[in-house]
Structure 1
Amino acid sequence: MSLRAFFSTVVGGLVLLTVVAATLLVVLTTALERMASTLSESVEGVRQAEELEVDLLVHSRMVALPGSPILADPSRGRSPPQIESDLRRQMVEMHATASTQEERYMVADVQTQVYAYLHAQQAPLGAGFSQAQHDAAAMASLDAALRSLERLIQLNVDQAQEARQSATYWSEVANLLGLVLGLLLLTTLGLVIFWLRRFALRPVTALRHAMAGFGRGGRHLRAPEQGPLEIRDMAHTFNEMADSLTHQQEQQLAFLAGVAHDLRNPLSALKLSTALTGRGEVTPERMQRTLALVRRQVARLDQMVGDLLDATRIEAGKLELQPQVRDTRELARSVVELYQSGDSGHMLELVVPDTPVLVRADPARLEQVLNNLVSNALKYSPSGSRVEVSVRGDAEQVVVAVADQGIGMSPEDLKNLFVPFQRAGNAKQRAPGVGLGLSVSRRIIEAHGGRIEVESQPGQGSVFRVHLARVSSSAGPPEPPAPSDDEEPAGVMH
């Protein structure tokens, strides 16, 4: 699991938890508000019913005992007609504040009973209808109205108790949900901390220790590739880098050993030549042979040192070019003529077009590349075989090819052909060198904006092709080559 996926999951879970908590809070708040409203309405209904009940009792007593100082209503100073008006107003208010259908039915029943009471009180005495009967009918209507009010009061009390119980229940639910959400939040944070410490911080610590130990010289140390995807990628990248650095160090040690061995051979030859010169009579023929041997060994040392210097300049980014517009045919011809003048034992051929093929390049560096390719072709080809140097061009580019009939290379050898200090197995036995020539040649051509390609098969020879951008004839005539007295192939690298 990657860190991005982990934190996305954690953030998503926290967002979901927050949304759930907010939704529950809204629901609980709405429910408690509704219950509070119900409780308030119930209290108001009880107050109105009790007030109506009191007014009915006061009215009945004032009608039954008019003028009584004890039962008068001095606090309000109301008369029975005023009380009757208040009764009608209160019933209208009760009907308006009724919140449930059942309560509306009870209020309507109360209104019917109260109106029946008032009608019974206001009914005139008639024949066969005595005062006692009139009072009994009024009292019966009053009792019915009071019973209806008691039922209405009981209904409001029941609603108030139900609202209170619901409020208590939802309060407990809210407390429980708050406790559960709090535990979930704490559990989530604990799991996040545990996961980070076990699966993220521990691999990071191991990676840091591996890097620190590798920096102190522990070349065998590697980071464990475990934990989140990003940390595994970092550990894998570090391990690859450590393997590459270790391999480079091994290559450097092998290179130093090879350079020491290659330097020892010419130095031993020089030492032996000088020792032989000091013994016995020195004849002119012996001196000539000794000088020729010394010249070849010095040239070999000069080539090796030149290879190392060029590789150092390239790696330091200090390769200086002096580009000129030159005819590629002339550069190739000068290289071929240089090797044709010696006894190489090969058939060296030059194939060029009839018209100029212009490029903008450093002629010395380009000749250095061609010298290296031709020299390698001669060294790694059997005596008497043909080596062909050809130049061709189209409207956009120039291709200089060097083809031989030598030992060739396998696909595995081609993979590391241009790697510094790398030489194919057959090449190591066929000719000495430090393995810098092709690497430096490729960097020189790339500095000109070109590229080198190679085709080869074991036992069937190789073809190296140098691709460079072509310059049109309108760019000007090619510049003449600078005079040189050097008779040796300059810049030949191996």
Structure 2
Amino acid sequence: MSLRAFFSTVVGGLVLLSLLSASLLVGVTQALERVASTLSESVDGVRQAEELEVDLLIHSRLVSSPDTPLVADPSRGRSPLEIESDVHRQLKDLHTTASTDEERQVVAEVERHVGAYLEAQQRLSETGRNSSSFDGRMVATLDAALRSLERLIQINVDQAQHERVLANRWSDTANLLGLVLGLLLLTSLGLGSFWLRRSALRPVAGLQRAMRAFGAGRDKASRAPEEGPSEIRDMAQTFNEMADSLTHQQEQQLAFLAGVAHDLRNPLSALKLSTALAAPGRAEVTPERMQRTLSLVRRQVARLDRMVGDLLDATRIEAGKLELQPEVRDTRELARSVVELYQSSEPGHTLELGLPDAPVLVRADPARLEQVLTNLVSNALKYSPAGSRVEVSVRGDAHHAVVAVADQGIGMSPEELKGLFVPFQRAGNAKQRAPGVGLGLSVSRRIIEAHGGRIEVESRPGQGSVFRVLLARVDVSAPGLPAAPDEEEPAEGEGTGALH
């Protein structure tokens, strides 16, 4: 599981718990509001029913004594007529507060009995105080109205009790849900902390220890454990790859230093032996031997110069300080000068130079381009058997100038081609066939890339190799370009001829 997925899950869970808690809180609040509203209505119903009951009893008392004149309500100063008006108002209020069908039926029954009571009282007052029939009817209807009011009060009391029980249930439910959500939140936090500690912090600590050990140089074999979330595994894998690369580079540097020391020792040993000939006490050296010795010294010095030059060029390239002085030149002349350079020094090979009739112009640093071509031709001669043919050709198309160097040497496998331009890296056969530090091709490729071109290679083991340098071609008819030099008659061995 990745850290992104973990934190997304945690945040999603917290959001879900928050929404659930908010929804439950809203639901409980609404339910309690309904309960409170119902309780308030029940209390109002009980109060109104009791007030109506009291008013009916007061009214009955005021009108029940036939020998006593009608007096006002001593408690509130109301007359029987005012009490009757209040009774009608209270009946309307009971209709308003009635919330169930049963309450509405009971209120209608109360209204019917109260109306009958007031009608009986009215007839009693019209017929006289001694009418026993109306008096009995008035008492019966009053009792019926009071019983109906008691039923209404009981209904409201029962409803209030039911709502109170419901409110208690909602309260218990809210407490239980709050406890469950709290426990769930604590459990989630505990599990998340445990997972982070076990699956994330421990691999991070291992990665930190490995980085410290490797960085301090105490343990170059130290590697980070590739475990935990995918991001940490990727970090550990990247660090391990970097550590492997650095270790490999250090090994290559050590091998490079050993190779440089070995390659420097050989020419230095030759120079040492050559200069020993002129030491005091040695026999007189013949002119022929002196010439051979000087020739040997020149070759070894040239070899040292190439090695030092490659090292300096590689250093300049890595530092980004490779300076070019481009100018428009004909690649045919550059190729011809390189071939002429090796004409006399390589009698054991056949060099063939193929040039087109028309100029093939490029904008390049001629010294650097000759350096690249010299390196390619030198490699072709070094890795080709004696008596084989090395072909140097120049051609141009609409966009590129192409200089190709083909040999009949040892060739390379696809695996060897992958590391062909890597600094200080040389194939196994190349190490045995010719000395060197493995910088020539790397430097050559960087020089050509600095010109905006590229080097292509085709090779097969035992069938030779073909190196092609591709540079942007300059149009010979473009304004401002120098005129192409007049073509001279090719010397013997030029063109498609051979140089031995």
TM range (shorter): over 0.9
* Residue 215 of structure 2: aligned partner: 215
SS of residue paired to 1:340: coil
CA 1:343–1:174 in structure 2 vs 1: closer, same or farther (change >3 Å)?
closer
Separation of aligned partners in 2, 1:88 and 1:125: 19
- What corresponds to 1:448 in structure 2? 451
Q: 2:396 aligns with which of 381, 393, 396?
A: 393
CA separation of 1:82/1:71 partners in 2, compared to 1, >3 Å: closer, same or farther?
closer
Structural mapping, 1:228-243, within 5 Å: 228-243=229-244
Give the CA deviation at 1:277.
3.0
Could you tell me how far 1:136 is from its partner in structure 2?
Answer: 1.5
Alpha-carbon distance change, 23 to 67 in structure 1, aligned in 2, over 3 angstroms? farther
| Residue 285 of structure 2 is aligned to residue 285 of structure 1 | no
> Where do residues 160-309 of structure 1 align in structure 2 (5 Å cutoff)?
160-217=160-217, 218-278=219-279, 279-309=282-312
d(CA) in 1 for partners of 2:124, 2:179: 71
Identity %: 77
Task: Say which SS state the counterpart of residue 99 (structure 2) adopts.
Answer: coil
Q: CA 1:32–1:69 in structure 2 vs 1: closer, same or farther (change >3 Å)?
A: farther
DSSP-derived class of the 1:326 partner: strand
- Matching of residue 75 in structure 1 with residue 83 in structure 2: no
Q: For residue 439 of structure 2, what is the aligned residue in structure 1?
A: 436
The TM-score, its normalising length taken from structure 1, stands at 0.93
CA RMSD of aligned residues (A): 1.9
Return the letter of the residue paired with 2:342.
Y
> 2:359, 2:484 within 8 Å by CA — same for their partners in 1?
no
Counterpart residue number, 2:354? 351
What is aligned with 2:385? 382
Equivalent residues in 2 for 1:472-491, closer than 5 Å: 472-473=475-476, 474=478, 475-477=480-482
Per the TM alignment, residue 376 of structure 1 is displaced from its structure 2 partner at its CA by 0.7
The question of 1:55 aligning with 2:55 is answered yes
Alpha-carbon distance, 1:177 to partner: 1.2
SS at match of 2:352: strand
Structure 2: how far apart are the matches of 1:270 and 1:461? 33
Contact 2:453 2:469 in 1 (8 A): yes
Q: Distance in 1 between matches of 2:59 and 2:6?
A: 78
Q: Does 1:7 align with 2:10?
A: no
Distance, in Å, in 1 between the alignment partners of 2:35 and 2:323 is 90
2:368 matched residue in structure 1: 365
- Unaligned 5+ segments in structure 1 are 481-494
Assess, with a 3 A threshold, how the Cα gap between structure 1 residues 249 and 67 changes in structure 2: closer, same or farther.
farther
Q: Is 1:101 matched with 2:101?
A: yes
Whether contact under 8 Å (1:325, 1:479) holds in the other structure is no
The worse-fitting range, judged by mean Cα deviation, of 235-244 and 286-295 is: 286-295
When normalised by structure 2's length, the TM-score is 0.92
Q: Distance in 1 between matches of 2:304 and 2:338?
A: 21
- Tell me if structure 1 keeps the 8 A contact 2:355–2:394: yes
Moved more, 93-102 or 470-479: 470-479
C-alpha separation between the residues in 2 aligned to 1:478 and 1:311?
Answer: 35
Question: Is contact 2:364-2:451 (8 Å) kept?
Answer: yes
Q: 2-side partners of 1:312 and 1:106: how far apart?
A: 108
Cα distance in 1 for partners of 2:362, 2:66 equals: 136
- Aligned residues between the structures: 479
Q: Within 1, Cα distance between the matches of 2:177 and 2:73?
A: 55
Does structure 2 retain, via aligned residues, the 8 Å contact 1:327–1:356?
A: yes
Which sections of structure 2, spanning at least 5 residues, go unmatched?
A: 486-500
CA positional deviation for 1:185: 1.6
Verify the 8 A CA contact 1:335 1:367 in the aligned structure 2. yes
User: Aligned letter for 1:188?
Assistant: S
| Residue matched to 2:495 | none
- In structure 1, C-alpha distance between the alignment counterparts of 2:56 and 2:167, rounded to whole Å: 35
Q: What's the offset of the Cα at 1:342?
A: 3.0
* Deviation, structure 1 residue 118: 1.1
Q: Deviation of residue 13 (structure 1)?
A: 0.5
Deviation string 1:134-187 (CA, Å, 9 cap, x unpaired) is 221111111111110000000000111111111111111111111111122222
Deviation for aligned residue 1:289: 2.0
Q: Deviations over 1:169-216 (max 9, x none)?
A: 111111111111112222222222222111111111111111110011
Amino acid aligned to 1:224: P
Measured against aligned partners, the alpha-carbon deviations of 1:368-421 in whole angstroms (never above 9, x if no partner) come to: 000000111111111222211111112211111111111100111101100111
* Native 8 Å contact 2:39 2:163 kept in 1: yes
Partner of 1:326: 329
| Residue of structure 1 in register with 2:409 after alignment | 406
SS of the residue aligned with 1:453?
A: strand
- Cα offset, 1:76, TM superposition: 2.0
Taking structure 1 as reference, are residues 25 and 349 closer, same or farther at Cα in structure 2, changes over 3 Å only?
same
Q: Distance in 2 between matches of 1:380 and 1:151?
A: 121
1:469 and 2:469 matched: no
Partner of 2:22: 22
* Residues 66 and 351 (structure 1), Cα distance of their counterparts in 2 relative to 1, 3 Å cut: farther
CA change 1:469–1:67 in 2 (3 A) is farther
